[in-house]
Structure 1
Amino acid sequence: MLVLIAGITGLVGIPCARSAFERGHKVRGLARSIDNLPEDVRNQLECFETISDYHDIAAMDRATKGVDGIICAFAALPEMFMETQFLLIRAAERSGVKVYDDIRGFAHHVAVSSSIKPIYMFTGAIADYSFKRSRCDWDPDTNTFNFHGPSTFPTRYTTAEDIGNYVLEVITAPNTANGDFSTAREGRITAKLNCLGSLKDAEDKLNEGQAEYGKSGWYNYIRYCYQYHIPARSWDHEPADVARFPNVKQTRLEEFFRRNPDV
């Protein structure tokens, strides 16, 4: 199977590529620069297409030509969630692609405007981001995790590597072209952390940020979306589809910490 990974240089794109190689698939990459790929991934690519900007239709047409499936792992930017994804799925239609694992944001539009039935995946909080990239959550210098609400609330985490493995299991499963909503997440872990206030405090900060910055300034208050909705359980989802893919060995959070001593 030849798989195109759009956004291959990112947090989720790289694990998806490695998971595809492990399963014997060919991988084509689409991103801004091949230099951002680790050598083990770069050296195994079928080819790499450079995308110059969010609206590089020519690059998307080249990238989608002849592939069997597409994994959309674009960065978490509104422009890429909507505009670039729209252009990519249109390129996929022109190329006759049937399997498309994408970002959830434009499901309703695609349902009424496209012949492709995408796969949407819901995961737990990405451990690699929470503990390695977000000092608002985890401060490795002081070993402090900042949160709102009770110290006993359960949080579900999924590692980027596990996401990559689940994605490849899903897109190669029978009837994949029929589309689906899948959930993949780890077990729960409870920790005693540094409390910054109650759930009401987090909700108030979220509302204040939305009022002050509006939707276009989402990055100023996005942390409070997570710090409110995760402990409030408003983002919980059932059922979990982990049992459908027993070939994936889940990474426990304790194991993630052992693999990442710098955290």
Structure 2
Amino acid sequence: MLILIAGITGFVGIPCARSAFARGHKVRGLARNIDNLPQDIRDQLESFDTMTSPHDIAAMDRATIGVDAIICSFAGIPEMFMESQMLLVRAAERAGVKAFHATSWNYDWTLSPGSHEIYDDMRAFSHHVAVSSTIKPIYMFTGAIADYYFKRSHYDWDPATKTFNFHGPSTFPTRYTTAKDIGNYVLEAITAPNAADGGFVRVQSFEASPEDIVKAYSAARAGRMTAKLNCLGSLKDAEEKLNEGRAKYGKSGWYNYLRYCYQYHIPARSWDYESVDVARFPNVQQTSLEQFFHQNPDI
């Protein structure tokens, strides 16, 4: 199978590519800069098309010719998610591609309209595709991406002090999926016989509370290093910070306050779901929290 991964150089694109290669598939890449790809992926690509801008229709048309399936892992920002991804859907229509996995590795954004600016864009995209396209995308709900929380977001994890920051009760469990597991779930979904039927997929790797994180981190490091917790306040405090941010910055300044969407709405269960589709993909071995820390000694 020849699979196009759009946004292959990104946070999810890279593990999707490795998962595809591990299953014996051919991969074509589409992104702005091939130099951002690890060498092991570059060496195995069938080909690579360079996007000169988020609206590079010609590159999308070239990239979609002859592929069997598309995984869109464009960055989850409004311009890329709404505009670039919609242009890619149109290119897929012209190329006759039916299996399309959309950018969607989040909590369940079909719930609680108005609670999250980017989730609203995701909802709008899925609605527009449903009413205007023959393509039926796959959307995957994964909860929080563990690698992002512990490697990219200093608001959540302070790598210098090994401190996990949170609002609300220290015993509340968050759903997490590792980037590696996401890659495996995506490949199982996009290569399934019914992939062109699209729909919503709900999975996870593990659930963990702040207290669970401290215990698992210490166990994974065999007591040589320990993690700490820092409670930033109650759920009410997080809600107030979110409302203050919206009032101050408006929708166009979403990046200034979006972290409080997660700090409030995850423990408030605004977007929660049950990972009912894990059983559909028995080939994916779920990573545990302690395994995740073992596999990432740099955390």
Deviations 1:136-165 (A, max 9, x none): 110011111111001100111110010000
* Paired residues of 2:203 and 2:275 also in contact (CA < 8 A): no
* Cα distance change, pair 239–157 in 1 and its aligned pair in 2 (3 A): closer
Among candidates 264, 276, 280, match of residue 240 of structure 1: 276
1:211 maps to 2:230: no
Q: Does 1:137 find its partner at 2:137?
A: no
Q: 1:161-188 CA distances to partner (integer Å, 9 max, x unpaired)?
A: 1000000000111211111110111232
Aligned to 1:117: 136
1:179 aligns with 2:198: yes
* Pairing partner for 1:222 from 248, 255, 258: 258
The TM-score normalised by the length of structure 1 is 0.98
1:239 and 1:134 mapped to 2: Cα distance? 24
Aligned to 1:94: 94
| Per-residue deviation, 1:97 | 0.3
1:233 to partner: Cα distance: 1.4
Question: Matched residues in 2 for 1:39 and 1:253: separation?
Answer: 28
SS in 2 for 1:165: helix
- Give, in whole Å, the separation in 1 of the partners of 2:24 and 2:166: 41
Structure 1 regions of 5+ residues with no counterpart? none
Note if 1:49 corresponds to 2:49: yes
Measured against aligned partners, the alpha-carbon deviations of 1:189-236 in whole angstroms (never above 9, x if no partner) come to 223321000000001111111111111111000110111111111111
Residue in structure 2 matched with residue 257 of structure 1 by the alignment: 293
Q: What amino acid does structure 1 have at the position aligned with 2:13?
A: G
| Pairs within 5 Å for 1:62-81 | 62-81=62-81
CA distance in 1, matches of 2:2, 2:205: 28
Partner SS for 1:237: coil
Question: 2:54 is matched by which residue type in structure 1?
Answer: Y
AA aligned to 1:56 is D
**Greater mean alpha carbon deviation, residues 236-245 or residues 157-166:** 236-245
**Gaps in structure 2 of 5+ consecutive residues:** 105-121, 212-228
Mapped contact 2:8–2:30 kept (Cα < 8 A): yes
Amino acid at match of 1:11: F
> How much has 1:239 moved relative to structure 2?
4.9
Residues 84-113 of structure 1 show CA distances to partners (whole Å, capped at 9, x for unaligned) of: 011100000000000000035111000000
Q: Distance in 2 between matches of 1:176 and 1:127?
A: 26
Aligned to 1:83: 83
* TM-score, reference length from structure 2: 0.86
Distance 1:187 1:165 in 2: 15
Deviating above 2 A after TM superposition, structure 1's stretches of 4 or more consecutive aligned residues are 190-193
Aligned length: 263
Contact 1:60 1:88 in 2 (8 A): yes
Amino acid at match of 2:206: G
Q: Helix, strand or coil: the match of 2:266?
A: helix
SS in 1 for 2:168: coil
- Tell whether the 8 Å contact from 1:73 to 1:102 is kept in structure 2 after alignment: yes
Which of 165, 176, 179 is the equivalent residue of 1:146?
A: 165
Which residue does 1:29 correspond to in 2? 29
Aligned counterpart, 1:165: 184
Contact 1:124 1:186 (C-alpha < 8 Å) held by counterparts: no
* Cα-to-partner distance string for 1:36-76 (whole Å, 9 max, x where unaligned): 00011000000000001110000000000110000010112
Give the secondary-structure state (helix, strand or coil) at the position aligned to 1:188.
Answer: strand
- The two structures, once aligned, show a CA RMSD in angstroms of 0.9
Shift of 1:81: 0.7
3-state SS, counterpart of residue 48 of structure 2: strand
Paired amino acid for 1:144 = T
AA aligned opposite 1:235:
W
